Structure 1
Amino acid sequence: MTAKSQGLRLNTLGVLLVAACFLTAYATAWMWSSSTNGWRDHLTRSYVAGVSLYDSLRTRADPPVGVDISPLSQVAQTQVMQGDFWQLPNMPQPAFVTNVSIKGQGHDPVSGESLALIIVSDSLQYNVSELISNGRQSAAQKLGNVTQLLATYCSEPILFARMGAQDWKRIDGQDVWGCHTAPTDLRLAAILLALVALAVFTTLVRDTSAHFERFARTLRNHRRLGGPQRYPVQGPEELRDIVQAVNQYLGRERDQIAKRATVLSGVSHDLGTPATRLRLRAALVQDAELREKFEADIDSMTGMIESVLTYTRAELNEEAPRELSLTSLVEALVDDYQDTGQPVTLAALETPSFQGGGSVFMSNAGRGSLPSEQRILVSARPISLKRAISNLIENALKYGRKAKVELVATAEHATLTVEDEGSGMTAAEIEAAVAPFTRGDNTQAIDGYGLGLTIVATVAEQHGGTLYFEAGTAGMRACLKIQRH
């Protein structure tokens, strides 16, 4: 299976998601609606059975379907009157008893006959006071409310009823309001299905979006700290096509830069022999002034080629990054310049302090400081970074006579600033000189090839940072900002 066949196109994925959402919504609505309708029909049947049961008790007519009315023996009559329900056959244990007295409207002498009702349940007592206190309802409707209430709970109640002065009768209506007759309630399952579907769809959408976000983030940091030679082809098919195109572009770019470096290396090597011959022949020139000009031109030619080769190697980004102490690197560089008598100084690192917390022994919070020998650790390419810092110091010495180096850091970034004593150029003019082979107005007085700041900017970009300039207290400040991790 190829890499391209492992993903779906976004439009196909979108259609599938819409269809899945529709089917899930339909299934959820059907489960909810069928359960609601089933319970409504179940409660309606129980209510109608209760209304019909009242008429059956009053007129001794046949009970409604599913309800059985049985007369009690004299012994059972006594036991019911005394409340000894546990002595009756087929009674639930334990027994929870609910006593109900139902009387119809006073203006109806028939429905005004009192109905005594005893509900014996194995699990609960029923709150029927509100159901039978409505004076606008008939007694039959009130009994219907009671049987509807019995059907609401999953229980197996046994009823004992006596209409007026009649004998007690046992009523068994499990086939109407019993637990086994209740419809399957799928409403909780519908809610769970909706939640699970929402979680699955959200995860799928976020995962698809995350593929694009991860690729954009890694591509944005491609040149920083040795980006991958190729990016993994994964995610939707559109993203796979983009990644493959980017991989092809990066491969061609690397090949072009490698060929350029190979050509420049060959040219530098080939020019070494004629340059040596030119130096030997220039030494034979009797005119000292003319001999110096020859030698200066030779140095300029070989120096320019070496500078271009250095810039190309910086673009190749071949050096592997490692963790190093930026503080030690800067201190070593400054010491090297000072050993040769160069006016380069390093500003003392500030020792950060922090506010401490209070305690039960002190009313004021204390203060503390980090050790003075703290080191700023970064993940960087030491050779490239050393070259960039050296270029900034060399520029400050060339154009501003002195170089003051300062190093500050936060948890995310480290910033190295090199301030000169005044080069006569503004920040905008210096930023314009970052372009390759661009130099300032004083090119006649100062040697250079216009690639120093270009190399620094390239190194800064490879380390996830930037090169910028600002006005300092004495002159211009070049700021090299890089990421620490």
Structure 2
Amino acid sequence: MGWAQRLMPRSIAAQIMSLVALSELIGIMLAAVTLIFLFDSPSINDTQKFLAGRVAELTQLLRSTHTPAEVDGLLAAARRGGLDVRRVALSELVPRAAGETRPFSMRAFRQLAAEPGIELLEDVRHPTGSSSQVIVKLDDGQALMADVRVEDGFWPFLLRPAAAMLIIVLISMLLLSVYAVRWVIAPLAEVANAATSFGRSPRATEVLRRRGPLEIAQVADALNDMRTRIRALLDDRTRMLAAISHDLRTPLTRLRLRAERVADETLRTAMLGDIVKVTRMINETLEYLREDARSEAVSRIDLPSFLQTICSDFADTGHAVSYAGPMRLPYFCRPRALSRAVTNIVENAVKHGSTVMVALRLTELDHIEIEVIDDGPGIPPALRDKVFEPFFKADSARQDSGGFGLGLSIAQDIAKRHGGSIELKPREPSGLRVSMLLPPEPVSG
């Protein structure tokens, strides 16, 4: 842990308050330094000295002229030279308001007062003049008013002390806010990503780093501890399933051998049928609960050939299952798991329909859609979400065909572990469309 982390408060609230206070402090310091170097910089001072010199020179020339035409000529020449000046009566001047500031330094103009014959009037202003006016007293109750703005446009606004300080403070706070987001939010994002990854693969071995504020570090510790405990539970479940599989299959084998010796053919057939059903139920339940199938490695397959093989397997057993789609489409997936999912969907379709089509197509954003279409009785809309629940069978809509209600549950679980989803849609005039939507690449976990 570095010295910055040791000095940083542990709680999120304290860190945010500290970063805000630090940003304000740094902003004020930067503003102060900028004001010192900006408003007393050589370029600004040189410009103001130049303007002060021109005002002093013009004042001396005006005092040496005697006719109104000469005065007007001097003022016109000064305006053509870029100096905004005019002559006003002393009686028109009003006192400056208390606390009124100028957007420039008066240092160069105050030096005018040291020159002979120059009287700078700082405490008064002309009502129609700008805030950048400088007034020098002339003879005969007159005064020279000069607008000494450096230039027009947006830059003079930035040179105003209040505006400059505000902008500097805002910029410094913005920069430190970016750092605050990285310091406080980055660990939160890491925790969120770890939680998402853990949800997809509880057996993932990576450990979440303990960093960031105290609350986030505590969440990381809790997630790591939960992952360890859940991994232990999964290991226990795997061992338990292996034991159950062995303990149940052994007596079922003995029952099968004894049933085959029954002389009554009708009774023997019924007993063997019940044994087959129990065996299938055990196998499907164990398949649904198995965790090792979920850790299958990702490999590249040709998806059309993959689906055509599944269709051929069903066609070989007498079912009317066909394929429609592109003839070549490389795809990265977990082949055994995906085969299990598609097989379950097709198996469910051939139980309830006479013809089944497996369609493959690319959707927007290059997603893969595998659609299994049958001409069976379909499923009512109210039951389309429930059929994904383990051991649920929509017998009221589709006749009982000996299944145990795990096929679609397993298929949906496999689709989710690929980062996809399954949706049931009606087929007109009758039947069901089971759409499996998969991302361009399967998610990790």
Residues 225 and 463 of structure 1 are in contact (CA less than 8 Å); yes or no, is this contact kept in structure 2?
A: no
Match of 1:435 in 2: 389
Match of 2:407 in 1: 452
Match of 1:291 in 2: 268
After superposition, the C-alpha distances for 1:276-331 in whole angstroms (9 at most, x for unaligned) are 21111111111111111221222222222211111111587221223333222112
Residues 261 and 309 of structure 1 are in contact (CA less than 8 Å); yes or no, is this contact kept in structure 2?
A: no
Within the alignment, does 1:482 sit opposite 2:438 as a pair?
Answer: yes
Residues 238 and 291 of structure 2 are in contact (CA less than 8 Å); yes or no, is this contact kept in structure 1?
A: no
Please tell me the residue identity of whatever aligns with 2:389: A
After superposition, the C-alpha distances for 1:338-385 in whole angstroms (9 at most, x for unaligned) are 233321111233xxxxxxxxxxxxxxxxxxxxxxx44142x3211111
Match of 2:421 in 1: 466
Match of 1:129 in 2: 81
Change (3 A) 1:467 1:222: farther
Change (3 A) 1:104 1:47: farther
Match of 2:196 among 220, 227, 246: 220
Within the alignment, does 1:380 sit opposite 2:339 as a pair?
Answer: no
Write the distance in 2 (CA, Å) between the matches of 1:42 and 1:472: 84
Per the TM alignment, residue 35 of structure 1 is displaced from its structure 2 partner at its CA by 4.5
Match of 2:375 among 400, 409, 421: 421
Rg (Cα) greater in structure = 1
What is the number of equivalent residue pairs in this alignment? Answer: 362
Match of 1:362 in 2: none
- The alignment partner of 1:335 has SS state of helix
Match of 1:391 in 2: 344
Select between 32-41 and 411-420 the one with higher mean Cα deviation.
Answer: 32-41
Write the distance in 2 (CA, Å) between the matches of 1:407 and 1:438: 28
Residues 344 and 404 of structure 1 are in contact (CA less than 8 Å); yes or no, is this contact kept in structure 2?
A: yes
Write the distance in 2 (CA, Å) between the matches of 1:228 and 1:105: 95
Residues 27 and 173 of structure 2 are in contact (CA less than 8 Å); yes or no, is this contact kept in structure 1?
A: no
TM-score (normalised: structure 2): 0.68
Between Structure 1 and Structure 2, which shows a larger proportion of helix residues? 2
Change (3 A) 1:465 1:222: farther
Residues 27 and 169 of structure 2 are in contact (CA less than 8 Å); yes or no, is this contact kept in structure 1?
A: no
Residues 393 and 418 of structure 1 are in contact (CA less than 8 Å); yes or no, is this contact kept in structure 2?
A: yes
Match of 1:11 in 2: 13
TM-score (normalised: structure 1): 0.63
Write the distance in 2 (CA, Å) between the matches of 1:426 and 1:48: 89
Change (3 A) 1:256 1:100: same
Please tell me the residue identity of whatever aligns with 1:232: L
Within the alignment, does 1:103 sit opposite 2:58 as a pair?
Answer: no
Match of 1:28 in 2: 30
Change (3 A) 1:149 1:437: closer
Match of 1:329 among 278, 302, 306: 306
Change (3 A) 1:399 1:100: same
Match of 1:204 in 2: 180
Residues 221 and 227 of structure 1 are in contact (CA less than 8 Å); yes or no, is this contact kept in structure 2?
A: no
Please tell me the residue identity of whatever aligns with 2:435: C
RMSD: 4.4
Q: Identity of paired residues, percent?
A: 28
Residues 257 and 312 of structure 1 are in contact (CA less than 8 Å); yes or no, is this contact kept in structure 2?
A: no
Match of 1:242 among 219, 244, 262: 219
Write the distance in 2 (CA, Å) between the matches of 1:295 and 1:248: 48
Select between 201-210 and 306-315 the one with higher mean Cα deviation.
Answer: 201-210
